[in-house]
Amino acid sequence: MIEYSQSQNSNANGGEDLSFKVIGVGGSGANVLDRLALEGSDDAQLLVLNTDIRKLSSSVSSQKVQLGATLLKGMGTGGDPDLGKQAAIEAADEIREAIRGYDMVFVCVGLGGGTGSGAAPEVCRIAREEGVFLVAFTTLPFEFEGARRMEQAKDSLNEIEGYANAVVTFDNDRMGELIVPKDGVTQAFAAADKIISQSIRATMNIVSKPGIIRIGMDDLLTALNSTNSRCLFGYGQAKGDNRALDAVDQTLKCPLLDNGKLLNDARNVLIQVSGSDSMTLLEVQTVMKELTSHLKSDAHVLFGTGTDPRLGSSLSVTVISSLDGDEPEAASTPQLQREVAPVTPDPIEQSPLAAAVTAAAAAAIGEATEIAAAEREAAPVEIHVEQPAVATGETNIVQLEKEEEPAPVEVAQASPAPAPAAEVPAAPVEPQPAQPEQPAAEYSTPAIESIVQMPQFSAPEAAQEPMITNPIASAVQEAAAPVNVQQPAPAEPQQPQAPVQQVAQEESAPPIGEPHHEAPVPAAQAPERVEAQTDQAQTIALSRIVPGQTTQRILNRPPKEEQAPVAGTPKVTPMPTSEEQLEQQQDILHLEPVQSKGRFAKGDPTIIDGEDLDVPTFLRKKG
């Protein structure tokens, strides 16, 4: 997987890091940004959008855009979302200009008011049109603000969910609960802003910083995927001999985790542990052990670890998840991911079996030659290769994922079917292009572009890494009835590429037909969004979208697992280092924290004014 991340960088960004932009919309969005700026955000560019010129001018962000300069003349919207929307549309060009060229955009907005509720969906739409990966952090109003504002907020949230790749929702009422009622209002809001800014920062770190076990955007999506967009977020950072446990403690103390209780309900949990080079394997184990004890036994843990020299001697733990909402059937999005999640583990285990099965099926047909087998393998490889490509540059296609997600299985089917057919590396690509051509003649040009790209990826990679095939093969088996495979199989060796397409369409009508239908759907959607844009923009968007489709399917199957088998070699490298670290670490005793509390060590601490009064006063004052 190390290779994977490298190739990702080089492909998508010419070796540069991902670039981030954080956009605060409305008053509360600006507050979060101020907080972010206050804590130093070297990674991200900050942009504030507001209708109210006074608030805008008081923001410390580096870049500001006034919404509705002519419409509202520098005043607020007075709580009217329609005005907010108009204002955003008026400033659309400026916003677009500011977003262009960034890989990932975070939009923070406090919903319920005019500017936030009205402008945020517009901003999200523009961002998506620019093809960025979009994460929205929204806060819902307090209940006491009234039903109407809540309604405005919900409407706006629905719209935003349509555009954003991921939405993290904080409930103000809940934030209120978490803060000591005695605290001043300023403190309460500052705490809320801080939580949001922390989660933005953690998200940025997770996807941008290199990792030994890397967590990518796909993991993030899985973790955040749920019908209930309320997010669980915990972050802890600690230093000292006992930093692992201290960091976990802090993480669990994060208000949105409710002392870890809420983790119990989480289905997919993303955990990132990072530290500098001094981080030991033992510490990582400790953290994971502690955290997983709060999880359901069948929870899906997306684990990542990485080193970041900037952390110095401290160790940081980030937990991201979402609460389970209604039943999975309720929304299409959760369905997809959940289905995917179980599927993922299977392929790994079954991969050998799967290969065997396919081979057996082929044998039964009597037409399975070794060549055919090789071809099949090659076919899955393509898909894998594409995944990294997607993850790298263009995480943009969230919607596509959601809509298409049922497709993973079908895609898998499709891919094996063509795969055997294709003797030449280019061949596997063909079935996919075929689909767009038929249904979506209009978009033929972009489709062709995408096709051109596809073979490039697939051909070399397939040749290099035949190993990768296993998971896909297994998936294929599960998904595709043996019949499908058989039908194309005979056709493959005999016919050249061009005929293969036709054959595939005609002969394997049932299996291939499904993928065809779905494939066009995403293509059609993509253009819809793009319509408003310039020609240039269109081509860009489309070219991204096409690989994206494949990517999404790939996303379903967690990348880790593919990597696991593939990464046999890279895996070996990190292991010895960690063991070395472990040895070095062993002479340090973790038993006692620096300040001892004796018999009070296990109880609730008595903390007043930030001092732990259970530690002897004599020792504290002397120290």
Partner 1 sequence: MASSNIYAGLEIGTSKVCLVVGEVRSDGALRILGVGQHPSAGVRKGEVVDSETVQACLHDALVRAEERSDVEINTVFLSVSGAHIQGVNSRGAIRVPDGEIGPEDLDEVKKKCREVQVPSENGFIHSIIQHYYVDGQAKIVNPVGMLGQKLEADYHIIHGIKTRIQNSIKCVREVPLEVEDIVFAPVASAQVVLDRETKNRGALLLDIGGGTTDYICFVDGAVVASGSVGIGGDHITNDIALVLKVPLARAEKLKVTYGSAWLDGINPAEKVPIAGEGSETVDRLLICQIINARLNELLTLINNSLAFDNILGKTAGGVYLTGGSSLLTGLDDLVSDTFGLPVYKGGSSSMSGPSALFENPQYATPVGLIRYAQLLNEQRPRAGAISKIGRKFEKIFGLSR
Residue with smaller CB distance to partner 1, 70 or 617 = 617
**Interaction residues for partner 1, span 142-181 (CB under 8 A):** 177, 180-181
Residue 621 within binding range of partner 1, rule CB under 8 A: yes
Name the segment binding partner 1 (CB under 8 A); options: 84-92, 410-418, 422-430, 590-598. Answer: 590-598
What tokens appear for 282 in the block? 């033992």
8 Å CB contact between 132 and 102: yes
What binding mask, one character per residue, do residues 336-375 give for partner 1 by CB under 8 A, x or -?
----------------------------------------
Give Rg (Cα) of the chain. 26
Residue 614 within binding range of partner 1, rule CB under 8 A: yes
| Residue found under tokens 């620096």 | 594
Residue 166, beta-bridge partner list: 135
CA 549 to chain centre: 15
Applying CB under 8 A, the site for partner 1 has a residue count of 19
268-275 sheet: strands from edge to edge = 231-238, 315-322, 268-275, 300-307
- Characterize the bridge pairing of strands 20-25 and 44-50: parallel
Residue 481 within binding range of partner 1, rule CB under 8 A: no
Please, what is the minimum distance in Å from the beta carbon of residue 622 to partner 1?
A: 8
HEC-encoded secondary structure of 81-140: HHHHHHHHHHCHHHHHHHHCCCCEEEEEEEECEHHHHHHHHHHHHHHHHCCCEEEEEEEE
Distance CA 409, CA 477 (A): 10
| Residue found under tokens 């120290």 | 623
Distance CA 124, CA 128 (A): 6
Please, what is the minimum distance in Å from the beta carbon of residue 601 to partner 1?
A: 10
Count helices and strands in the chain by DSSP H and E runs? 33, 12
Please, what is the minimum distance in Å from the beta carbon of residue 188 to partner 1?
A: 13
Residue with smaller CB distance to partner 1, 142 or 600 = 600
Residue with smaller CB distance to partner 1, 200 or 257 = 257
Query: Does an H or E element contain 167, and which?
Result: strand 166-171
Residue with smaller CB distance to partner 1, 3 or 614 = 614
Residue with smaller CB distance to partner 1, 73 or 182 = 182
Residue with smaller CB distance to partner 1, 144 or 618 = 618
| Number of Cα atoms under 13 Å in the Cβ half of residue 527 | 13
Name the segment binding partner 1 (CB under 8 A); options: 32-40, 214-222, 300-308, 592-600. Answer: 592-600
Residue with smaller CB distance to partner 1, 176 or 240 = 176
Name the segment binding partner 1 (CB under 8 A); options: 467-475, 557-565, 571-579, 597-605. Answer: 597-605
Residue with smaller CB distance to partner 1, 576 or 623 = 623
Pick one of 596, 610, 612, 623: the residue that binds partner 1 (CB under 8 A).
596
What tokens appear for 569 in the block? 């070699």
What tokens appear for 224 in the block? 């955040």
- Characterize the bridge pairing of strands 20-25 and 607-608: unpaired
Pick one of 184, 569, 617, 623: the residue that binds partner 1 (CB under 8 A).
617
Residue with smaller CB distance to partner 1, 180 or 572 = 180
Residue 619 within binding range of partner 1, rule CB under 8 A: yes
Residue 71 within binding range of partner 1, rule CB under 8 A: no
Please, what is the minimum distance in Å from the beta carbon of residue 606 to partner 1?
A: 4
Residue 591 within binding range of partner 1, rule CB under 8 A: no
Query: Does an H or E element contain 457, and which?
Result: helix 444-464
Residue with smaller CB distance to partner 1, 16 or 143 = 143
Please, what is the minimum distance in Å from the beta carbon of residue 140 to partner 1?
A: 19
Residue 606 within binding range of partner 1, rule CB under 8 A: yes
Please, what is the minimum distance in Å from the beta carbon of residue 619 to partner 1?
A: 7
Pick one of 370, 599, 610, 623: the residue that binds partner 1 (CB under 8 A).
599
Distance CA 415, CA 376 (A): 9
CA 102 to chain centre: 16
Residue with smaller CB distance to partner 1, 177 or 579 = 177
What binding mask, one character per residue, do residues 515-554 give for partner 1 by CB under 8 A, x or -?
----------------------------------------
Q: How many CB atoms lie within 10 A of CB 216?
A: 25
Residue with smaller CB distance to partner 1, 188 or 299 = 188
Residue 618 within binding range of partner 1, rule CB under 8 A: yes
Distance CA 469, CA 605 (A): 54
Look at residue 570 and give its three-state secondary structure.
helix
Look at residue 581 and give its three-state secondary structure.
helix
Please, what is the minimum distance in Å from the beta carbon of residue 321 to partner 1?
A: 25
Please, what is the minimum distance in Å from the beta carbon of residue 138 to partner 1?
A: 25
Please, what is the minimum distance in Å from the beta carbon of residue 173 to partner 1?
A: 12
What tokens appear for 164 in the block? 């954003």
Name the segment binding partner 1 (CB under 8 A); options: 139-147, 301-309, 511-519, 601-609. Answer: 601-609
Distance CA 347, CA 65 (A): 49
20-25 sheet: strands from edge to edge = 63-66, 44-50, 20-25, 104-110, 133-140, 166-171
Residue 613 within binding range of partner 1, rule CB under 8 A: yes
Residue 186 within binding range of partner 1, rule CB under 8 A: no
Q: Distance between the two ends of the chain, CA-based, in angstroms?
A: 47
H-assigned helices in 293-369 = 332-343, 345-365
Q: Residues for the chain: how many in total?
A: 623
Please, what is the minimum distance in Å from the beta carbon of residue 334 to partner 1?
A: 31
Residue with smaller CB distance to partner 1, 73 or 602 = 602
Amino acid, single-letter form, for residue 301: V
Residue 183 within binding range of partner 1, rule CB under 8 A: no
Please, what is the minimum distance in Å from the beta carbon of residue 620 to partner 1?
A: 8
- Characterize the bridge pairing of strands 315-322 and 63-66: unpaired
Name the segment binding partner 1 (CB under 8 A); options: 206-214, 342-350, 415-423, 609-617. Answer: 609-617
Which residues contact partner 1 (rule: CB under 8 A)?
177, 180-181, 596-600, 603-604, 606, 608, 613-614, 616-619, 621
